[in-house]
Amino acid sequence: AELAWDITTGGLTPQGDTIVVCVIDGGIDMGHEDFGDNIWYNWAEIPGNGIDDDNNGYVDDFRGWNAYAETDNVDNDDWHGTNVAGIVGAQGDNGIGVAGVNWNVKVMVVVGGGNEAAALAAYTYPYVMRKRYNESGRSEGAFVVATNASWGVDFGQPADAPLWCAFYDSLGMQGILNCGATINGNVNVDEEGDLPTACPSDFLISVTNMNNQDVKVTGAGYGATTIDLGAFGAGTWTAQPGDSYGAFGGTSGATPHVTGTVALLYAAPCPLLGELALTDPPQAALLARQYILDGVDPNASLQGITVTGGRLNMFNSLQLLMQNCGPCPPPAALVASEIIDTSALITWQPLDSTLFVNLRWRQAGDTAWQVIDSLAADSLLLSGLQACTTYEVELEAVCADTLSGYIPHIEFTTDGCCVPPEVVFVDEVDSTVVVAQWPAVLAAQYYVVTLASATDTIVLDSMPGHELVYDGLEPCTDYQIWVQTVCDTGITQPTPPVDFRTFGCGPCIDLTYCEAGASTQFEFIQSVVVDTFANASGDNGGYAFFGDSLNIVLHTYGLYEVTVEPGYQGSSYGEHFRVWIDFNQDGDFEDDGEMVFETAEPVQEAVTFTLLLGPDVPLGLARMRVGMTWAGNGGTNYPDACGVEFEGEFEDYC
């Protein structure tokens, strides 16, 4: 990887296209510190307004798409998806955590997968977005170059899922190369089958798992005609929910290394792949596939049981691409940073063949360029710029005998525009007080802040600074806050509203409980019934809080039946349940007697237990947590009250 990163660390094509990888999984922890700004958002969509603003067929798909719920609820602390996304695109060189295959990339999050119908629903979203990008001349949609599926159907047969397999060709025709994780078992996929890795499409790369001894993991699928290559997966250290990090593995960990490499190829300082992606998208995808498969390191443990007989080598694949770029490739990693109203720092990465760099820049829309020749450095401060103006910058490498031509291209806009703040942060909330702040806008004269509940709207005019401390809210009330900028030219549109709730609702809601979650790729909590109170919750992406919506009232000396039921995306599996109640209302489930139920044996159907409330149970609003997890092959894996489980779900009630 280090040698590959000497060539590129990802982000943009030489033509300036923002590279997007679609991770189809159970969702991710989008707020993880190490994703930085590497998460893709659909900025053409206004979140939460119930309108398909960009006319792509999806309503409110600001954060991506949840194909199960048909919403953009993809930010759910999913353990599996967060690990996968971290391998593809955890931000590099930021001083924290880990580095993904791409230090800079946009990770598009889609929740989905499972059977054929669910797979098609999930894959349709990146297909639509790349198709719009191609057909709009790069002005709409997203430049999706790869999808990752670290999931599938063990022993699935392509003949039983013809539409699923055929859809990889449809994705490929738009320029999307797809990577799939094969079965975690010592199985010959050629004979036994697996979906999607037995699908015969040229636009699918099927991946098996390697350990740190460079040997195929015994419990990983193989197939001389179906499984293309191996990649390191076992023990990969990656991002995990809650700003944490840990080891991940299986073919689920191997596959995103390949997916990430697809994106890295497009960011190489070679115009070939980027130009082909704009003129002949399917050929670009096939060429990326060829570079990956031709670049493998031969490996004895893969010989004769995979198509290539080799293991992924990112550097080799990039070298194959660079060898087709001629003797004078253009500079790489062209970036504009430290942008203010009058200047911007332009940085780039010259290659070994580069003697000097020629730089040209202009205001967007101008015909004449301003040229600065023979730069020996790797950066330049452009000064004397106009506020709130868009500029274009291009670079050309000067080599011993030739020039690369002006190929890398970026655009940036100087500060000073009358715009709303980028985001509003709610820092502190009490029963009647809210403390909020937002990034200052250079052109602002003052701000207008709105606080709105279902019954009241508070408008605070002429806020001079970019921080608010307001006392006068109602306790236990849901509010939204948004901010508008007022400049000498007028008032802006509001920021997207930020939700918060004031304290005063009781300990179940006011106290901060430990996080819990899991991946619902295969199973989830279908329903919870407490006495006469029933909640058919279905799949909620790993965690859901229902304390607001169900009025569960129980009494001391009461004897109540509680029923919990698992649900499945396809085949059923053995599950373990545990139920906790924070009787003393102290914000945890650690006290004696607070775990009120656990299954003795794995279950695949609903299970009922009796809850007895004695005379000493404190009165008040108490938190109940229901946890379910896959019991594992040995049947001994139980959910932990504060756990992040591999497969399953958690639900909280009051």
CA distance 186 to 219: 5
Query: How high does pLDDT run on average in the chain?
Result: 94
pLDDT at position 645, please?
Answer: 67
Is 70's pLDDT higher than 70? yes
Q: What is the pLDDT of residues 504-560, one digit of tens each?
A: 999 999 998 988 877 787 899 999 999 999 999 998 878 899 988 777 999 999 999
Q: In degrees rounded to 5, what are phi and psi of residue 134?
A: -65, -45
- Neighbouring CB atoms inside 10 A of 517's CB total 27
Q: What value, to the nearest 5°, has the Cα angle with vertex 203 and ends 199 and 206?
A: 55
CA distance 199 to 116: 12
Q: Helix, strand, or coil here: 469?
A: strand
pLDDT at position 348, please?
Answer: 87
Whether the bond into 196 is cis, omega within 30 of 0: yes
Least confident of 301-305, 328-332, 428-432: 328-332
Label residue 136 exposed, middle or buried (CB < 10 Å: 0-12, 13-18, 19+): exposed
Q: What average pLDDT does range 297-303 have in this prediction?
A: 98
Q: What average pLDDT does range 354-363 have in this prediction?
A: 95
Q: In degrees rounded to 5, what are phi and psi of residue 545?
A: -115, 120
The domains found in the chain, sorted by start residue, are 2-323 (3.40.50.200), 332-413 (2.60.40.10), 425-503 (2.60.40.10), 508-653 (2.60.40)
| Residue 345: alpha-carbon gap to chain centroid | 29
Q: What average pLDDT does range 231-248 have in this prediction?
A: 93
pLDDT band at 644 (very low <50, low <70, confident <90, very high): low
What Å distances lie between residue 348 and 12, 358, 376, 390, 491, CA to CA? 12, 12, 11, 19, 37
Query: Which amino acid makes up residue 634?
Result: G
pLDDT band at 15 (very low <50, low <70, confident <90, very high): confident
CA distance 552 to 50: 31
As a whole number of Å, the end-to-end CA separation of the chain is: 49
Is 20's pLDDT higher than 80? yes
Is 646's pLDDT higher than 70? no
Q: What average pLDDT does range 149-166 have in this prediction?
A: 94
Q: What average pLDDT does range 322-345 have in this prediction?
A: 87
Is 477's pLDDT higher than 80? yes
Q: At what angle do helices 314-323 and 281-294 cross, to 10 degrees?
A: 120
Concatenating the DSSP letter of every residue in 13-69 gives -TT-PBPEEEEEES-B-TT-TTTTT-B---TTS-TTSSS-TT-SS-TT-SS-EETTT
Query: Which amino acid makes up residue 263?
Result: A
What Å distances lie between residue 358 and 318, 348, 368, 380, 426, CA to CA? 25, 12, 15, 11, 46
Least confident of 224-233, 313-322, 452-461, 536-545: 536-545
CA distance 493 to 491: 7
pTM for this prediction? 0.65
Q: What is the pLDDT of residues 258-297, one digit of tens each?
A: 999 999 999 998 888 998 999 999 999 999 999 999 999 9
- Neighbouring CB atoms inside 10 A of 211's CB total 18
